[in-house]
Amino acid sequence: MSISGQAILADVRRLLTPGWLAGHALALLAVVTCLALGWWQAGRAAEGNTLSWAYTFEWPIFAIFVVVIWVREIRLTLRKGRAEPAAAAVDPVDRPRPVITRRVNQPTAADDDSGDPQLAEYNRYLAWLNENPEARPSDYPAKEYR
Amino acid sequence: MNGALTRYRVIAWIVGVMLLLLTLVAMPMKYFGDNNLGVVIIAPVHGWLYVVYLAAVGDLARRVQWPVTRILLVALAGTVPFLSFVMERRTVAWIQGNDRQPSFTEA
């Protein structure tokens, strides 16, 4: 058997577990019930009950909703089955996180701010960053460097 | 995601209010007051708004990994008077990541 044939067979088998068989039966029952109720309302509408016209079209829409949810479940199940081997190879959660380092200029006593208040403030900011390696620049209490 | 949740919340409230109008105003009018008018107007409007509600629930379900029972529960809650408002709060709690029971004293 070809590889794709085997894959399809594996997919089909995944949808024939006891739980899924019950699920298919329930979904089918719900669809048939909705369509039958729509048919019943169509009969009442034909007899002259105007209110039934809306329900004649609404019940089939409810059936469509059931089918949409049904298909969604089938696709989720198949995707889960296919994704598992690949997910084991590359698990984004377990991968070590990259280490981000930030080099902070260290102001020293030799720094000459020449009496410039802006430069002095900037040096204080750098000194603060150096003292608080965990902090982000935006944590600095002074307004200018936020 | 936030857009889908907002759409769901808006239509959930509208459907909830319409359902209350239908069951608390229109139906007593029909069965006790012998006046069909309320039901004739509100029932189809509520029916079609419920279809919109289902679409919003389906759209929400497309974006979250909910078990199918929960999707059906949310869909059916729109048909029960008062329960739709409770379910709307539960849904917001589910989506926003805390599965705790929302306390109803919160605004």
The reported pLDDT for the residue numbered A21 is 92
Residues A34/A58, Cβ–Cβ less than 8 Å: no
Considering the entire predicted model, what is its pTM? Answer: 0.65
In sequence order, what DSSP letters do the residues of B26-47 get, joined into one string? IHHHHHTS---HHHHHHHHHHH
Residue A141 has pLDDT above 80, yes or no: no
Residues B48/A51, Cβ–Cβ less than 8 Å: no
The reported pLDDT for the residue numbered A106 is 61
Residue tagged 């006593």 (tokens)? A109
For chain B, the maximum distance between any two Cα atoms, rounded to a whole number of angstroms, is 48
Please list every residue in chain A whose beta carbon sits closer than 8 Å to the beta carbon of residue B61. 69, 72
Please list every residue in chain A whose beta carbon sits closer than 8 Å to the beta carbon of residue B15. none
Cβ within 8 Å, pair B61-A54: no
> CB-based contact (8 Å) between B40 and chain A?
yes
Average pLDDT (B25-33) is 80
Task: Among A59-63, A88-92, B10-14, B16-20, name the one with the lowest average pLDDT.
Answer: A88-92
Per-residue pLDDT tens over the stretch A23-71: 999 999 999 999 999 999 999 999 988 888 888 999 999 999 999 999 9
Cβ within 8 Å, pair A54-B72: no
Hey, is B57 helix, strand or coil?
helix
Residue A20 has pLDDT above 60, yes or no: yes
Per-residue pLDDT tens over the stretch B87-102: 999 988 888 875 444 4
In sequence order, what DSSP letters do the residues of A85-114 get, joined into one string? HHHHH--TTTSPPPPP----PPP-TT---T
